[in-house]
Amino acid sequence: MSDLLAIPLKRTLEVDLSTELSKLIDATSFQTASFFKPDILKVVSARNNAITPDLSIDGLVALKKYYTILIQLEKKFPDNQIEFTWFQTLSQKSRGSSHYSLQWETLTIVYNIGCMYSLLALNTSRNSAESLKTSCLYFQNSAGCFMYVLERQETLQTMSVVDNATANALASLMLAQAQECFWFKAVQDKYKDSLISKLSQHIVDLYGKAISDAQKGKLIRNDWTDHLKAKKAYFSAVTYYRMALSLNEKKQFGNAVKALQMALQFINESKLSSQAKFKTVIESSLKEAQRDNDFIYLQQVPSELPSIKPALMVKPSSTSTLLPSIENDVQLFKDLIPIEVMEYCTAYNERQDEYVEQRVTNPLISLNKLLKESMTTFEIPQELITVSEAELSQYQTLLNNLHTNNKNVQTELDKIEQILNDEAFTDNQLRLKHGTLHWVLPESSTINTKYYEKLNTLKGYLGQGSAIDKQTDNFFQSIDKNLITSEIRLPEPNDPLTNKIKKVMQERNEYIKKTKRKSSEYRVLSKIISSYKNSGTIDFESIFTDHLKYFDEDLRYVNSTKQENKKLIEEIVLKEKNNAPGSAAETKKIERIDPRELYIEDLKYSLKLLDEVKENLNAGTSFYENLINSTSKFYNEVQEYDAARTEERNKLDESLNI
């Protein structure tokens, strides 16, 4: 129990929080910073105590105190205003990292709380049952903090306190050492050897995970990794040694010999200081067990032993019990206008914009659209636009990319199919070689069906993609590219009704812009701040409802223009009737073909095809991204399956060839 590790505290640069918070308050609050001087000094004092804490319970309390203050600061101030710098202490070179983030500072303090728990656990004597329990609890608390950091920093994205692999390694290390405390207590209490073996097996598993993650991480030093490997080997030896004692009690002497052989193998791999003494014990026990079995019991020594089911006795502590709540703490900056109030203002601004959009903007747009849809014999070309040749070239490039992605996926699927076919062929050949009675592995045809089914599904998706790509190609080739890339030149319409409708629609568009400007300038912020300062409550719904009455005039305009729309549509209907088949106006229209209408129809058709091409390109890009991702994951899955089957075949083939 002397070979345990503690995680060193991260170090930081001093921050002039007094100045930074004062500037922040003056910039974002209606009050001045001098009003909150006592609260600012409490924050400064809490950080000073937390960045150089004593290795004691008082030091842990100082860290947790600063944590509660940071939680309050997060609620009161923007996250990205104060810069903090912390240095890693795990790697041989101390590397610094800086972020403008209260959340990052908070998460770093949680990391240091986890470090402090590991230091306290290591500093506990462990000479009594109670001290062992305390160390075990502290190690679990430490693991809980590191797991919290791992889970929480995923939401911070680029602002990580420690890379994920290292965080996982630290959590597993702490749990391994917690389990080690529990194991040591079991040894002292003379628990059954079978149980002690299961306890130590879980230690082995936890050290194994810690090693795996440490090797993937960026910060764990090589000497620490070597130490973890030595601990894993040592407890593997412990597991098999205790297993041997248990098997000996059950008179399974041949199995006991094998267990001691395994124990000796693992103890030879360990470099711990206690290795030599334990090795002597194992060698003595193995020599005696082999002698008794060779001359008395004559039991067969197996080639391998059944796996040992680990006894899981530890887990990461929940941070809901580790990290303090601010409910019972002194509330700082109580009179400061909180960010929550500003968030209410933002939410109400969004609701106001939505209100104006639904009650004014959208109805006016719909009225204009209704006019356009009613004009079937003549069209206002106001909505028509052209595109650049560069834009068309970009679409062609995207289309080429779809074809390339299709070919790449097909290549991957062919590789997958070849792996599955080769695996099935190899299995069949070995089955013919050894016979079905001896070749006991499951037939490939029974276990790889799901892979072929998934392969066929992906092929089906790829076929669908190919069909849509071909359709998109046809659409793109059908576009009159010269027409849609040339400047639109149309004569002004001489029809009085068309000009009248254009003027009305333009007037509505201008009104839409004016109303949006009006809404952006008339906000509810000042009313909410005033209400909050007077009442201290955050129920602003009635204030917002009254605020919206400012737009009643615009609602009346919308209602009036609805009536105007109705009259214009009646005029359109009358004009359509006069231009109906057989009428004099229609006869005159047929006699002179209107090139303007033909031009518009051709342009609209090509633009419609282009819209369909763009939709297909957007959908196709997303489709192939998902398909490539799924194919890649499936390829890895099949490779793992093939590797596992290869290993199983090799082992069985070797055993049958003996």
pLDDT score at 241:
97
Q: Which of 180-189, 219-228, 383-392, 506-515 has the lowest mean pLDDT?
A: 383-392
Cβ–Cβ under 8 Å, residues 171 and 149:
no
Instruction: Determine the pLDDT at residue 173.
Output: 98
pLDDT digits (tens, 9 = 90+) for 159-169: 899 999 999 99
pLDDT of residue 591: 43
Does residue 614 register a pLDDT over 70? Answer: yes
Judged against a pLDDT cut of 80, whether residue 595 lies above it is answered with no
pLDDT in tens, 436-492: 888 889 988 889 899 999 999 999 999 999 999 999 999 989 888 888 888 777 655
pLDDT digits (tens, 9 = 90+) for 266-311: 999 999 988 999 999 999 999 999 999 999 989 999 999 999 999 9
* Strand boundaries in 251-351, DSSP class E: none
Band (589; pLDDT cuts 50, 70, 90): very low
CA atoms within 13 A on the CB side of 535: 12
**Which CATH architecture group holds 11-321?**
Alpha Horseshoe (1.25)
Going by pLDDT thresholds of 50, 70 and 90, the confidence category of residue 533 is low
The single residue listed with the structure tokens 């230690």 is 203
476/62 Cα distance (integer angstroms): 68
pLDDT tens, residue by residue, 370-401: 887 776 544 545 567 788 888 889 989 999 99
pLDDT category of residue 327 using cuts at 50, 70 and 90 = low
**Torsions phi, psi for 100 (to 5 deg):** -85, 85
- Choosing among 1.20.120.1770, 1.20.140.50, 3.40.109.10, 3.20.10.10, the CATH entry for 389-487+614-657 is 1.20.140.50
Q: Are 635 and 416 in contact (CB under 8 A)?
A: yes
The pLDDT value recorded for residue 380 is 47
CB atoms within 10 A of CB 34: 10
Highest mean pLDDT out of 113-122, 153-162, 326-335, 543-552: 113-122
pLDDT band at 592 (very low <50, low <70, confident <90, very high): very low
Phi, psi of 452 (to 5 degrees): -65, -40
Q: Is the pLDDT of residue 224 over 80?
A: yes
Residue 434 neighbours by CB distance under 10 Å: 16
Could you tell me if residue 217 is left (phi over 0), alpha (psi between -120 and 50 degrees) or otherwise beta?
Answer: beta
Strand-pair category, 83-87 with 96-100: antiparallel
Average pLDDT of the residues of the chain: 89
User: In angstroms, rounded to a whole number, what is the distance separating the alpha carbons of residues 26 and 78?
Assistant: 13
Q: What is the CB-side half-sphere exposure of residue 597 using CA atoms within 13 A?
A: 10
**pLDDT digit string (tens) for 37-91?**
999 999 999 999 999 999 999 999 999 999 999 998 988 888 889 999 999 999 8
Query: Taking 60 as the threshold, does the pLDDT of residue 204 lie above it?
Result: yes
Rounded to 10 degrees, what is the CA torsion of 397, 403, 406, 412? -80
> What local confidence, expressed as pLDDT, does residue 68 receive?
94
Per-residue pLDDT, 92 = 82
Predicted local confidence at residue 117, as pLDDT: 97
Q: What is the pLDDT of residue 53?
A: 95
> In this structure, which long-range contacts are made by residues 402-407, counting pairs with CB atoms below 8 Å and at least 24 apart in sequence?
402/465, 402/469, 402/472, 402/617, 402/620, 402/621, 402/624, 403/469, 405/624, 405/627, 405/628, 406/462, 406/465, 406/466, 406/469, 406/624
Burial of 175 (0-12, 13-18, 19+ CB in 10 A): buried
